[in-house]
Amino acid sequence: MSKPIFELVDELPTGGPTVLALRSLDFVVPGQWNNLVGFNNTIKAVTGETDEALIQQIGERAVHLYNDKSQGYQRAQWLYQTVDNASGALGAAALANKVGQDLPFLGLLSKLTPKPEKAQSIDLCVKLVVEIVAFCQINGIPGDSIGDFLASLGDYSGESLIRMAALVCFDGLVPLGPDFALKGLSTLQGMSPSDLDNNSTFKGVSELIPGGNRAGQLSFITESMDSVKGWMTDFVGSRGLTPESVVDNLTKFVTVSKDKLDYLGAFLDMTVHYYEHTGTQTLARRLIERAVAEI
Model confidence over 73-89: pLDDT tens digits? 999 999 999 998 877 65
Residue 252: Cβ-neighbour burial (10 angstroms; 0-12, 13-18, 19+): exposed
Structural contact between residues 170 and 286, judged by C-beta atoms closer than 8 angstroms? no
Per-residue model confidence (pLDDT) at position 249:
92
For 191-202, how does the pLDDT look when each residue is reduced to its tens digit (9 = 90+)? 999 999 888 889
Cα gap 12→41, rounded to integer Å: 12
Q: Give domain limits for the chain.
A: 5-294
pLDDT at 89: 55
pLDDT for the residue numbered 1: 54
CA 281 to CA 37: how far, in whole Å?
A: 8
Among residues 94, 222, 241, the alpha carbon closest in space to that of 170 is found at 241
**Whole-number pLDDT of residue 20:** 93
- pTM value? 0.90
Long-range CB pairs of 102-108 (<8 Å, 24+ gap) are 104/254, 104/255, 104/256, 105/17, 105/254, 105/255, 105/256, 105/257, 105/264, 105/267, 105/271, 106/255, 106/256, 106/257, 108/267, 108/271
Q: Distance between CA 13 and CA 284 in Å, rounded?
A: 15
pLDDT of the residue at 180: 96
Q: What is the pLDDT of residue 96?
A: 45
CB-based contacts of 72, cutoff 8 Å, min separation 6: 136, 137, 138, 139, 140
Q: Identify whether the C-beta of residue 252 lies closer than 8 Å to the C-beta of residue 162.
A: no
Per-residue model confidence (pLDDT) at position 95: 45
Quickly count: other Cβ atoms within 10 Å of residue 259's Cβ: 9
Which residue from 178, 175, 173, 168 is spatially nearest to 119, judged by alpha carbons? 175
Q: Are 275 and 159 in contact (CB under 8 A)?
A: no
CA 254 to each of CA 35, 48, 77, 99: distance values in angstroms, whole numbers, following the listed order: 18, 34, 28, 11
Task: Give me the tens of pLDDT residue by residue for the chain, a chain 295 residues long.
Answer: 578 999 999 999 999 889 999 999 999 999 999 999 999 999 999 999 999 999 999 999 999 999 999 999 999 999 999 998 877 654 443 344 444 434 455 455 555 555 678 888 999 999 999 999 999 999 998 877 999 999 999 899 999 999 999 999 999 999 899 999 999 999 999 999 999 988 888 999 999 999 999 999 999 999 999 999 999 999 999 999 999 999 999 888 877 666 666 667 777 887 889 999 999 999 999 999 999 999 8
